[in-house]
Every structure is written in structure tokens, then in C-alpha cells.
A = this chain, B = another copy of it.
Amino acid sequence: MSVTIYDVAKKAGVAISTVSRVLNNTGYVSEKTRKRVMGVVEELNYEKNMLAVALMKKQTKTIGLIIPDITNHFYADLTRAVEDEGNRHGFNVILCNTDNDMEKEASYVSFLLQKNIDGIIFASPKKDDPNIKALCDKNPQFPIVQLGGEVEGVNTDKVLVENSQGAYDLTKHLIELGHESFGVVLGHRNSLASKDRLDGINIAINEANLRLVKQNILYGDFKMQDGLKSALQLLKSKNRPTAIIAATDLLAIGCYQAAKSIGLSIPDDLSITGFDDIEIAQAVEPALTTVTSPIEQLGVRAVEMVVSTIEKPKAYKEKTVYQPTMVIRGSTGTPVNNYTVSS
């Protein structure tokens, strides 16, 4: 079928080991034979079969990227960064969307392992993810990096964002504007993203001697619809907050819709904050106050970590933590507190 190293060897009148040597620049080869071999390689349009190489070397030059959902802008950006950086190092990336479904994740992981993938990046693992734990227990040497989350009791390389800091900043900003009652619109209950953010919010609120009513903390999925639903619930409640802190920009935009649907104006009647700073955050009206993470850098760092452990296994694990940055825009302001909503 396709041309192999044998074809090249025969045509060049040398042994396959010689061809292999010139192809890989390994061992001694006379300039003369090198030229001859390269000539035949060009002539025959020979391309190395990486499968055979992989079987030999036990390196596929492929990494797996496991994310909840590529449709979420944050993961799209991240994936882009990982793919680019991987490519720069000569690695391809196999994409896996789990929807936070552990069974799906398990099946992906075993599939990836069977394919002898060289390493895996887990984005936003949930704190009780059993698959990562199992994988690490079974083979502590296998290159894994956890990005933007950490499974309890599992020691791997990590790239993290101090999300609690971002949430703290946002909350403090709202408090300084004069807000005293808050609504919190989160995603999955056991996503680290939700937990971290809530922590930061609580710290800021406690510092200011204010209280966060438990009923004002709502969980859901990460879609815009969920933001709308949660916000409606908050806005129609007795403990109606003057500010809503959403766990992602998309959720925040869902909150915008809720506010509009019942005639509240942002930020006069209601301040809203997001998280992620997706492209649309500046396009909505008013522009969204949010927090931005160095997503590209996260991806780059994660790839650096896997690739370096793949190429030279190391005895220690490392962790890099990034700080998010608050971006104040038009969706937050001093509360006016003069509105009424029919409950």
C-alpha cells in the first residue's frame, strides 16, 4: 500500500537500519549514503508511519484533553490554547466532552489509555472525581495535569486559578458601592468553580459584617437558561437582593434577561457580575462587570507540564496558581432601591 522503510531501503540499496538512521539522525552515516537515501525518500514520497514508531517507542505524541463542554466559551478558549501549544511541541490533542458525567469520563479515559496516549489534561475536575483518583492510584507515573480544579487527595501536577480571590474582589466592589443583600447564581453544586467562588463571596461578606441568606444561593447548570431561571427566583423572593453574583458570564447574561423581563434596570435596580470575561461581556447592555483569567496562559502552562513530564518523568509534582483580574464595567453601580416587583 503506502511506501515503507523497506521500499526506500531496497531502492537505495541499503539496509532498513541505515534508512532509519538517516531519518532520525542517529548513529553514523556517511554523507554519501545519507544523500542517496534522502534522494529516494523524496522520490518515493516516503512518510514515516508513526503507528509503528509509537508501538516501538511507546510514545504516541498525542495528549487527551478532557473538558465538560466545548460549547462553553471558556473551554473553547482553553482548548484553543492547549491545541496550539500542544502542536508547538509536536503533540496532537484528542478532545473529550464529558458534560461532567463521570461514566462518560471513565469511558473516555480508558479509551485514551488503550490508545496509548501520552498524557491527559483534566479541565475543571469535580472535587470527587473518581476517575482521576483511580488513574493515579493505578499508575502514579502517568502524566496528568488538573486544570482549574483539584480532586481531593490526589497528587498530580496542577494549574489553578484563584477564583475565590476573583469572587472576593467582585463582592467587595459591590459592598463598596453600598450593596447589602446579595444573590448568588452558581453552576453545579460540586464543581470547584462554584465552591471557590462562594468561598470568596463569603469572606468578603463576613469581613463587612453582612450576611448572605442561604436561600439566595442557587445552583443549576451552566447554561444561560439556568441563569435566567435562578435570577427570576431570586428577584421574586422576599429577600430580594440588590446585586447578583453569577458564577459565569453566561449565567450573568441569563440574569440580565430575567431583570429585563420584569422591568428592572441594570445597574440602578440591580447590579450583576459575571465571571470569565467572554467576548460578549463587553457587548451586552450595560457591559458586564466580571473577572478575567489568563486562559491562554492556563492552557499553555498545562501543556508545558504534561509535555515535560512525558519527555522526562520527574519525581515531584508541581502547581502553578494564577490570579484573576476584576474588570469593572457598567453592570454594577450604587443600588437605588426604589423598585417594586409584584411577587
A residues neighboring B (CB under 8 Å) = 1, 47-52, 54-55, 58, 60-62, 69-71, 73, 76-77, 79-80, 83-84, 87, 92-97, 108, 110-116, 223-224, 250, 253-254, 256-257, 260, 279-280, 283-285
Answer whether A97 and B80 are a contact pair too, CB < 8 Å, given A280-B253, A283-B284.
yes
Please pick, from B52, B62, B76, B223, the residue contacting A55 in the complex, using a CB distance under 8 A: B52
Contact yes or no, A279 B250, CB < 8 A: yes
Answer whether A116 and B49 are a contact pair too, CB < 8 Å, given A79-B95, A95-B79, A280-B253.
yes
List 17 A–B pairs whose Cβ atoms lie within 8 Å, in order of A's numbering. Answer: A47-B110, A49-B55, A49-B116, A50-B115, A51-B60, A51-B115, A51-B116, A69-B80, A71-B73, A83-B97, A92-B96, A94-B95, A250-B279, A254-B283, A260-B285, A280-B283, A283-B284
Contact yes or no, B76 A97, CB < 8 A: no
| Protomer copies | 2
Contact yes or no, B83 A95, CB < 8 A: yes
Contact yes or no, A93 B94, CB < 8 A: yes
A224: chain B residues within 8 A (beta carbon): 279-280, 283
Please pick, from B1, B52, B77, B280, the residue contacting A71 in the complex, using a CB distance under 8 A: B77
Contact yes or no, A111 B92, CB < 8 A: yes
A54: chain B residues within 8 A (beta carbon): 51
- Cα–Cα distance between A142 and B76 once the two chains are bound (Å): 29
| Minimal Cβ-Cβ distance residue in B for A280 | B280
Answer whether A70 and B60 are a contact pair too, CB < 8 Å, given A47-B113, A50-B114, A55-B51.
no
In the A-B complex, list the 3 residue pairs whose CB atoms are closest, starting with the nearest. Answer: A50-B114, A76-B76, A50-B115
A83: chain B residues within 8 A (beta carbon): 70, 95-97
- Cα–Cα distance between A240 and B71 once the two chains are bound (Å): 36
Q: Chain B's nearest CB lies how many Å from the CB of A276?
A: 13
| Minimal Cβ-Cβ distance residue in B for A72 | B76
Q: Chain B's nearest CB lies how many Å from the CB of A254?
A: 8
Contact yes or no, A114 B49, CB < 8 A: yes
A61: chain B residues within 8 A (beta carbon): 115
| Minimal Cβ-Cβ distance residue in B for A1 | B58
Contact yes or no, B97 A84, CB < 8 A: yes
- Supply 19 further A-B pairs (C-beta < 8 A) apart from A51-B55, A83-B97, A94-B94: A47-B113, A47-B114, A49-B55, A50-B114, A51-B116, A52-B55, A70-B83, A71-B73, A71-B76, A71-B77, A73-B76, A76-B76, A84-B97, A224-B279, A224-B280, A253-B280, A253-B283, A260-B285, A284-B285
